[in-house]
Amino acid sequence: MTDQHIIVFDGVCLLCSRWVRFILKHDHHAHFRLAAMQTATGKRLLEEHGLDPADPASFLLLESGRGYTDTDALARILVQLGARRWKVAGWLIAVTPRFARDLAYRFVARHRYRIFGKSDTCLLPAADDAYRFLD
């Protein structure tokens, strides 16, 4: 699993579910694999990278076994989607001072359920995308 690019996300967060659908739509080469933090694989990966699976403050991006969180993960994913507009967005995030971008990110992450809502069940992938999900 260390050579894959894996995104661990909150499967019941509606904002996170939108983010996953965005990735599925724009990741034309199926570069990223996905794991909900509510699954055994997602929990294990979060724990291995120092994030609390019961209350993660961020999603996790794993690239070749190395973990990225917050806006570092967001920028890296956007750049790798390939389209020029997503690369530019990723670069703009990356050049913004970390304290400012992470402050905004963490505010949204802490209040994501209140702002965007929460589902009773995890996002279920469409049959065509099921192979991209771990667990």
Sequential pLDDT tens for the chain (135 residues): 446 899 999 888 888 889 999 999 999 999 999 999 999 999 999 999 988 888 777 789 999 889 999 899 999 999 999 889 999 999 999 999 999 998 998 898 888 888 888 887 777 777 888 899 998
- Residue 1's pLDDT is what? 46
- Residue 3's pLDDT is what? 60
pTM, two decimal places: 0.87
- Residue 88's pLDDT is what? 95
What does the buried/exposed string (b/e) look like for 77-110 if buried means 16 or more CB atoms within 10 Å of the residue's CB?
bbbbbeeeebeebbeebbeeeeeebbeebeeebe
- Residue 6's pLDDT is what? 96
- Residue 74's pLDDT is what? 94
List the one residue out of 117, 106, 47 whose CA is nearest residue 74.
106
In degrees, rounded to 5, the angle at the alpha carbon of residue 58 between the alpha carbons of residues 49 and 73 is 80
